Amino acid sequence: MSMAAERTGGRRPGRHRAAALALLAVAWLAVLLLAPLAGSQPVSLADVAAGDPVAEAIFWRLRLPRVLLALAAGGALAVAGVAFQTLFRNPLAEPYTLGVATGASLGAVLALRFADPATVAGFAGVAAASFAGALAATALVVGLAVSRRGVETGTLLLAGVAVALSSSALILFVQYLSDATQTFRMVRWMMGGLAVVGYRDVAWAVPWAIGGSAVLLASRWELNQLLTGEELAASRGVDVSRLRLRVLAATSLMVGALVAVTGPIGFVGLIVPHALRRWVGHDHLFLAPAALLAGGAFLTLCDLAARTVAAPAQLPVGVLTALLGGPFFLWLLFAGRR
């Protein structure tokens, strides 16, 4: 009886998950405090507090906004990954599945080629254009997939692939029309990075990350229902079509807003949710906040590595996540198969 009671202790997984979440929160805070101190030029908190002008400038002006943006962007990408994998019931779905990244890239590339370089230098023009591109691509994909019977998953995926391929072709075409300097900037933008950031970028990114995550968290019961299929979910009162539209809109807006300032950063939305599902399980009540914390911490650490491994040169973090992501993802895939 006691063994049965132990095995059947209904609340135990919940406690384990709450502990995991608390651990992630501590790790996240540690990353927030320590990552701005590390780098090619280490800085100590004592120097910053003492008012050392160089230490202050490095900490407050250069590194803290960069870390904050990495926390927001990584968190948003991981949260979006959770949402996409659940919505499409596909472990390979990721935040860019519906063509958000290529749409954003097309917008950025067009701005870099055709906009006045004077305004482009401030990067606001490129960011605005890539945000518009991301939204246009998502709207196109969802618009193509809407039918009389709601939004269908298979059509969404295919429309996403088609729009991404078309955008890629257009990007190549625009690149062909560009000169060497413009092409170089386009390629660098598409590598995804956190190099040029100020608090304006942070102030833009954080509300999107929090807002998108909040929508996901508010839809947690319904998203959990999708784990046993749409038919059962609908029979229990979930409006699956509306849920899909709401979550897709929120996550695509969030990812589009972040990609606009960071460029596309791959694999965070794939690796982090996979690892988390194994650790904290599939309940979105825990999974959504865990993804926000773990994704942010993961991207910040990647960025820390990217700006130190080749110091004083700074690797774009998108290159590093792609380098890490491919093999790690394969490992997860095949470890899970066994």
Partner 1 sequence: MSGEPFVACRSLGWETRGRRIVGPVDLAVDAGECVAVVGPNGAGKTTLLRLVTGLLAPTAGELRLHGRPYAGLSRRELARAIAYVPQIRPARVPLTVEEVVLLGRHPHLGRLQLAPRPADYAAVGEALARVGIEALRGRPVDELSGGERQSVYIAAALAQEAPLLVLDEPTTHLDPRHQAEVASLLARIARSGHRTVLAATHDLAFAAVVAERVVALADGRVAADGPPSEILRPELLGELFGARFELAGGGARPVPVLRIEGGP
**Closest approach of partner 1 to the CB of residue 227, in Å:** 6
**Site membership for partner 1, residue 51 (CB under 8 A):** no
Mark residues 87-106: x for contact with partner 1 by CB under 8 A, - for none. --x-----------------
Q: How far is CA 234 from CA 84, 145, 175, 229, 231, in A?
A: 19, 20, 46, 9, 5
**Closest approach of partner 1 to the CB of residue 153, in Å:** 12
Number of C-beta neighbours around residue 278 at 10 A: 12
Number of C-beta neighbours around residue 146 at 10 A: 16
DSSP code string of 9-61:
-TTHHHHHHHHHHHHHHHHHHHHHHHTTT-SSS---HHHHHHT-HHHHIIIII
**Site membership for partner 1, residue 218 (CB under 8 A):** yes
- What SS3 state is found at 115? coil
Give the integer Cα–Cα distance in Å for 157 and 199: 36
Report the residue from 2, 7, 176, 179 that binds partner 1 according to the rule CB under 8 A.
7
Instruction: Decide whether 113 or 282 has the Cβ nearer to partner 1.
Output: 282
Pick out residues in 271-300 that bind partner 1 (CB under 8 A): 277, 281-283, 285
Instruction: Decide whether 234 or 301 has the Cβ nearer to partner 1.
Output: 234
Give the integer Cα–Cα distance in Å for 161 and 130: 19
Report the residue from 1, 154, 231, 334 that binds partner 1 according to the rule CB under 8 A.
231
**Site membership for partner 1, residue 37 (CB under 8 A):** no
Per CB under 8 A, the segment of 30-38, 54-62, 133-141, 236-244 that binds partner 1 is: 236-244
Give the integer Cα–Cα distance in Å for 142 and 137: 9
What letter would DSSP give residue 95? T
**Site membership for partner 1, residue 237 (CB under 8 A):** yes
Q: Which residues are near partner 1 by CB under 8 A?
A: 4, 7-8, 10-11, 13-14, 89, 218, 221, 224-225, 227-229, 231-232, 234-239, 277, 281-283, 285
